[in-house]
Each structure stands twice: as structure tokens, then as C-alpha cells.
Structure 1
């Protein structure tokens, strides 16, 4: 599925974090995809960085973004698998004020249609902390494309009805979601 730009009336400030022991800016195709996708949809990239699979470094980086008045969304790619070094869910879920259970559930549902039962090995998660939405997805570029095109592109768009995440983010001052009535 090709990325397509959609109209967005509320541009968001988004930070991108790649979790990897091996990638650098030249080889980080997943982080690059997310940066391109969010900018194509009219959002602003506040910061992008690569952090090793270390839960304390991950927490420090994301905690700073949660505390920042400038970051409304954090997109994390990598560290959601089952190897000993995959600690993104354990590192970041403790920072959440509320978990977004539906993000991981819907990601795995959409992913199932693409890669079959291998999707059970994805520990994609989402949460809210201090008016910041945090979405953690697998490290493959394909998984990032699935998450962006299948979920995030719509949920980070103020025009998406009946509900989107914009109203829950800091500094948006928008009315609550419409009823599905």
C-alpha cells in the first residue's frame, strides 16, 4: 500500500525514536519512513533519534519528550519483539498514564492480513502520558507502513470522524469526539 497524503487541519509536533543496537541514520529505513509519512501529512518533526536497546535510555528519551510542551506524539520503531534485547514495551509502558489497548490489537489485526500468524510475535503498544500519545511498533519498515497507513494517519488527523486522538493531546484545545449516535 503506497503512502498517500491526506488533508489535515491540525498539524502535530511529532518525535520519532528508532530503537536499535545496529542501525544508524543511513540504515534506519523505518525511522526515515515515519519522518517522511508524518511530514507528507503536514505534521512537524520535532526530533528524531536512534537509541540502543536499553530500557533506561529509552525511558530517559521518551520521558523528556513527554515532559516537553512541544511534543504531542511520539512514534517508536523497534524493540517490540521477543529477543532478550527487545525491551521497548517494558521500558515505556511504565510511563503511560493510560494504555491505548486498541492500537496493539488493531495493529496485529491489520498485520495478520499481511503476514499471517507471525503477527502474534509483535508486542506493539500505545499509551497516553501528559497529553502525549506514544505509539510503539515493530522495527521493520513494512510494520511502520502498516501502522501509519492503517491506523496513525487517520487517528492523527483532526478531520477523521467520529473520533481521533487530536482532542486528547496537549495544546490542541478541541472539542471532544462526536458521538457515533
Structure 2
């Protein structure tokens, strides 16, 4: 079973938060605020924060720019993961991914089922890796952001989490580049 190994030192991770919305502003971005509070409360660093409209190219461009920034380890986006025509965040993420973390969406659905029942099928939360950076796309509700952080990301982004976690494999995410 998973656990926190207190004999290991906590390693802060540099996380960027991207809100995808045609209507949100810095003043009313509750989902972004939830993620910022969660990650900083856990001891991680807010590396960047932005709001972009529901435009696939703009989302992908922001993701690529942050992936290329050595001061950012993880990007968490919120919004645009639903089923409507303007929901293009998942497609933008997949335009950027080198590898998809298939189980992230599955585990998020499992967590969501416990909270919202079969309504969980309407989310297309996803995760992946690009340029040595982890990318996660979460729904645009504060509750979904809280659930994803509390039940998945807080553990996987904690170096002390056993039996394994995302932090301990950071050095190997770009190992394919060294072989060229």
C-alpha cells in the first residue's frame, strides 16, 4: 500500500498552473486558486500562472513554452476537459505529449466516482510527459482540482511517497535525449 516514508527528505517541485477559460479572470479563477493553495500548502513552488482562452493552439503553445522552461517541472491545467465544442484542452495536451500517462485519467475517474458517481464519465482528465515536464489536465471545477490534488497529485509529486512517485524519476524523463 502507498505511504509517506518520513526517512526521506521532502523535495519541493516547481509547478505552473494554467486555467483554460473564455470567461475566467485572475479575480474569479477559483479552480486556479484551489490548485495554488494546495500546491503551496504542500511546500511546492508556484513557478508560473496564466489564464488562456479555450483555443487549442494557444493552450498547446503555452504548454510547450512552459515545458521548455527549466524552472518548471510540472504543469497543471484546469478547464476544458469536458465534452462540449469549446473543450479542447485534452486535444492540446495530446498535441504536446511525448508520452501519455494513461492511468492518470483512469485513477482520476475512480476518485471522481466516489465523489460524483457516474457523472465522472463526463471528464476527460489526462496526464503526460513532454520535454522532461509532467503535464496534467484537470476539469474546471474547484472540487475536481481538490480531489485530483488530494487523492493523486499530492502523493505522486511527493518524493517521500512509496512505493514510487513521479519526483524520483525526473532525472530519467529526458534520458532518450542523451542517447542521440
TM-score, with structure 2 as normaliser: 0.89
Partners of 1:42 and 1:97 lie apart in 2 by: 28
- Contact conserved, 1:132 with 1:170, CA < 8 A, in 2? no
1:112 aligns with 2:113: yes
Q: Which residue of 1 aligns with 2:49?
A: 48
Q: Which residue of 1 aligns with 2:75?
A: 74
- Contact conserved, 1:8 with 1:157, CA < 8 A, in 2? no
1:88 aligns with 2:78: no
Aligned residue pairs: how many? 167
- How far 1:32 moved relative to its partner? 0.4
Per-residue deviation, residues 82-118 of structure 1 (Å, max 9, x unmatched): 1100000111112111111111100001100110101
The two structures, once aligned, show a CA RMSD in angstroms of 1.7
What stretches of structure 2 of length at least 5 have no aligned partner? 1-5, 174-180
- How far 1:165 moved relative to its partner? 0.2
Per-residue deviation, residues 24-79 of structure 1 (Å, max 9, x unmatched): 01110000010011001111111111000000110111100111111100000000
Question: Which has the larger helix fraction?
Answer: 2
Q: Which has the higher contact order (CA 8 A, sep 6+)?
A: 2
For 1:14-163, what aligned pairs fall within 5 Å after superposition? 14-163=15-164
Moved more, 153-162 or 87-96: 87-96
Partners of 2:41 and 2:9 lie apart in 1 by: 10
Q: Which residue of 1 aligns with 2:11?
A: 10
What stretches of structure 1 of length at least 5 have no aligned partner? 1-5, 173-181
- How far 1:8 moved relative to its partner? 6.5
TM-score, with structure 1 as normaliser: 0.88
Q: Which runs of 4+ in 1 moved over 4 A?
A: none
